[in-house]
Structure 1
Amino acid sequence: MLRAAPPDGSDARGVEFFEKNIRPLLANKCYQCHNRQSKKAKGGLLLDSQEGLLKGGDSGPLVVTGDPDKSLLIKAVRYTDEDLRMPPDGEKLTGAQVADFEVWVKMGAPLPGVQEDKIKANARTHWSFQPVKRPAVPTVKDQTWVQSPVDAFILAKLESKGMQPAQPANKRTLIRRATYDLIGLPPTPEEVTAFVADESPDAFAKVLDRLLASPHYGERWGRHWLDVASYASSDSPYAFTYRDYVIRAFNDDLPYDEFLLQQLAADQLDLGKNQQALAGLGFLTGGRHFDNNIDDTIDDRIDVVTRGLMALSVSCARCHDHKYDPIPTRDYYALHGVFASSIAPDEMPLLGIDPDPKAYAEYLSKHKPLQAKWDDFIHKQEAESLCEKG
């Protein structure tokens, strides 16, 4: 019989061997026919859960630990019995893959049991999963240098190392740094001259306000988010609409929660006249597409969303519970189901204002009755199909 392994010594190495060499093979070659989602798993054997692996199937226990020659699993993958060959249909494993199964059985066929719980317990206490707390502002010796609480943290660290803050930059250096940082472009000679000549106390604040109001601000900082979203202008003829949406969101100072919500579910929001927000869905519909493999496309979307919004590699749980983070495979496929039930329309929505309102109104007057006829036809076809199945 198989057993759940404790997290120590050789068993820990055996569990690592299982996760690295055995579980990926089970996921790629066996889960399709032997999984908990099937109405009836073939041979009564479930291989996508620890319970299923421990129990075995209709033919009995899957493994005799320590003895490959007496194990049904090894007998099946070796193709030595015409009545027991797995995977079927000529998809025989390679010699190296069969050898991995044999090694695993000789090791005692360890499975992640207690070890998984320990990893998850450690993950729950990891600093990155703790609520954000407001720390106490440290006390510093040179209070005159501190202009904000952030300065106090910086100065406290410097003082603890016996260091002093750098001298203030001159005005030419300051405007150059600020302009490059905020809009990614150098200041013009006229802007530098005007700032140097401005002796007012809020001279630098006025420079910052001007830069933040520049359309180049969104172009400069929106690029970082476009990298998170795996944006590419070559993705589709209308990919630019998502790029423009992101730039506009930065320039309009769109609240972060609205920014995320529009990219995840703009089509479910009451947008009113703000139809341009629908372009935010390019966060989901852009990225890589895999022809004839919707699962890989969805996996890429899960990866983009969870890395971008949670800083977690959730896609690792596609084949096995995450080794380090508290993300079980069942959560991955629950999220997979959400994306699988969300389909991009064949005809993209109109985002902008038509340059000829009269012509557009005429178009709508002709389009609406045709659309109604089409919808009625589809509903009738679906009803007839349901009647036939019933």
Structure 2
Amino acid sequence: MRRFGTLASIFFLTALGQAEETEPQLAKRWPFTPVTAMTPPEVTNTNWVSNPIDAFILSKLEARGIEPAPLAKRRALVRRLYFDLLGVPPEQAVADAFVNARSPLAYGRLVDQLLNDPRYGERWGRYWLDLARYADTAGYEGDPDTPHAWRYRDYVIDSLNRDKPYDLFIREQIAGDEFNEIMGAGELPGMDAERTVALTFLRLAPFTEPRGDRTRHELLSEMTSTVSSVFLGLTMGCAQCHDHKYDAIPIDDFYRMQAFFSTVQIQPPLRGDGFQIGGPMPARFYRAHEEALINDKRARLQQQ
């Protein structure tokens, strides 16, 4: 944990350390200003406030003489919960049961029920997959299939459904191959299937035909740009070719950050490979629950 925190700090400081702007200029850029605690403002209608966020909203409404909207009706509320957490409407019987429920705990219980629904990970996992550039094909004119990409998709969905801690989720995707050492367990034989699949985050990118060192450079640049935008909120990709036009990121800093990934060993990608770090993934490489599903499927097929 300490090593990862140090690495993240170095990433951030590297992105800013060589900036040519002065401190007053940097201070005007709100993403670089320290986060400070905010005291909720005083409001008149204190009965409307159920949490500190409400106070900030209500203070703006009161300043403009606007009355808050009335509370949503229960049928509208259950529909909002379903669409927000699962992306689908509730069944009629479920909506009716919630509308007619008298328990003050009904809302909280419904939220817990939806968070435990497998569709929750499918609904919200797609936003992370967008950040990770996930696709089932490699893009460009050939657009070859990436037959093992689904493993990473399922890894993301499973991580959300299992409520995996966010810091662990990050470590697995950036440094899954170094995970044993990061966690202080020393060097252990073999690679954990879960974390090998997680490393697909670094490898997901549009891909053309292998072109030797040029392909390696493109993949390393893609890793650098994606890690910076997803985890630092900085679009460093512009600095790959020139100093950034809007952010305080010179081209030198792009390649300083890329150096963190320069030791990654990438076998030449081939059409149809799993697009994993280290080259093609064997067809029998499964995580524990995936192997159980495959074995069950095989057993049922053999009985037919």
Fold match (TM-score > 0.5): yes
Match of 1:262 in 2: 172
Shift of 1:284: 0.5
Distance 2:198 2:27 in 1: 33
Listed as ranges, the gaps of 5+ residues in structure 2 are 1-18, 139-145, 266-276, 296-304
Query: Equivalent residues in 2 for 1:241-260 (5 A)?
Result: 241-260=151-170
How far off its partner does 1:252 sit? 1.2
- Equivalent residue for 2:61? 158
- Which SS does the other structure have where 1:193 is aligned? helix
- Matching residue of 1:348: 281
CA contact (8 A) 2:148 2:281 kept: no
Q: How far apart in 1 are the matches of 2:84 and 2:41?
A: 28
Task: Work out the percentage of aligned pairs sharing the same amino acid.
Answer: 38
Does the 8 A contact of 1:124 with 1:326 survive in 2? no
1:309 corresponds to 2:231: yes
1:286 aligned onto 2:218: no
Moved over 4 A (4+): 271-274, 354-357
Query: How many angstroms apart in 2 are the aligned matches of 1:348 and 1:337?
Result: 26
Q: How does 1:93-112 map to 2 (within 5 A)?
A: none
Amino acid corresponding to residue 199 of structure 2 in structure 1: L
Q: Which amino acid aligns with 2:150?
A: F
Check the 8 A contact 2:243/2:249 in 1, yes or no.
Answer: yes
Q: Structure 1 pair 139/127, CA: closer, same or farther in 2 (3 Å)? A: same
Deviation at 1:242, TM superposition (A): 0.7
2:141 maps to which residue?
A: none
Query: What letter corresponds to residue 130 of structure 2 in structure 1?
Result: D
Q: Distance in 1 between matches of 2:161 and 2:90?
A: 19
Q: Is the 8 A contact 2:238 2:244 kept in 1?
A: yes
Aligned residues: 242
Larger Rg: 1
CA distance in 2, matches of 1:164, 1:124: 36
Tell me the distance in 2 between the aligned counterparts of 1:161 and 1:218.
Answer: 39
What does residue 214 of structure 1 align with?
Answer: 117
Q: Offset of 1:288 from its aligned partner? A: 1.6
Output the CA distance in 1 between the equivalents of 2:46 and 2:57: 12
Say yes or no: does 1:331 pair with 2:241. no
TM-score (norm 2): 0.73
Give the distance between the partners of 1:246 and 1:238, measured in 2 at CA.
14
Cα displacement (A) at 1:300: 2.1
What is the CA-CA distance between 1:125 and the residue it aligns to?
4.2
Q: Pairwise mapping of residues 32-111 of structure 1 onto structure 2 (< 5 A)?
A: none
Kindly indicate whether structure 1 or structure 2 has the higher relative contact order, using CA contacts under 8 Å at least 6 residues apart: 2
Checking the alignment, whether the CA contact within 8 Å between 1:288 and 1:300 is kept in structure 2 is no
Deviation of 1:296 (Å): 2.4
Q: TM-score, normalised by structure 1?
A: 0.58
SS in 1 for 2:199: helix
Structure 1, residues 263-320: CA drift from partner, whole Å, max 9, x if none? 1011111289963232111111112224312222322222222111122111121222
1:238 to 139, 145, 148: 148
Match of 2:130 among 210, 223, 227: 227
Deviation at 1:322, TM superposition (A): 2.1
For residue 196 of structure 1, what is the aligned residue in structure 2? 99
State the distance in 1 between where 2:86 and 2:151 align.
Answer: 21
Paired with 1:297 and 1:288, the residues of 2 have a C-alpha distance of 9
CA contact (8 A) 2:21 2:248 kept: no
Distance 2:115 2:92 in 1: 19
Runs of 5+ in structure 1 lacking a partner?
Answer: 1-115, 358-390
Superposed CA offset, 1:39-76 (max 9, x none): xxxxxxxxxxxxxxxxxxxxxxxxxxxxxxxxxxxxxx
**Is the contact between residue 146 and residue 152 of structure 1 (CA under 8 Å) also seen in structure 2?**
yes
Residues in 1 aligned to 2:91 and 2:78: alpha-carbon distance in whole angstroms: 10
Within 5 Å, give how 1:354-369 maps onto structure 2. Answer: 354=291
